[in-house]
Amino acid sequence: MEKKNLFTHIHEMETQLGQLHSDLGELKMIVKELLEDNQRLTIENEQLRKLLKREAPADLPVPSALAPAARPAGPATGEDVVGEGYDNLARLYHEGFHICNVYYGHLRTEGDCLFCLSFLNK
């Protein structure tokens, strides 16, 4: 009778060990997701700080985007007129964000995006 009890006890321990292994795998995935989010937010924070430092001195004079009288008006200048929306999208792209319909608004972490570049070249 003791041998049967011993085998039952070993089986229960094996079941508990399997459960612990699966719990550890789940925790590992959660930690991985948290680390990825932390890295993404760190990069985004750095880019926002750079942008803030770059634009902080520009607070005193009126930016050209806010002063339409400072811009030459109409196609009389001889250049192709590009809308303000295009300028804003190009600025967002150069600040490190996607402007394509696939990943719009997400942070670009791996260099240039072919979708975004093709959108800008239209």
107 - beta bridge partners?
Answer: 97
Give the residue ranges of the annotated binding site: 98, 100, 113, 116
Assigned token pair, 46: 């750095």
Cβ atoms of 97 and 118 within 8 Å: the answer is no
Cβ atoms of 74 and 81 within 8 Å: the answer is yes
User: What phi and psi, each to the nearest 5 degrees, are found at residue 56?
Assistant: -60, -45
Give the residue ranges of the annotated binding site for Zn(2+): 98, 100, 113, 116
H helical segments located in 1-122: 2-55, 84-94, 114-120
Rg (CA), the chain: 28
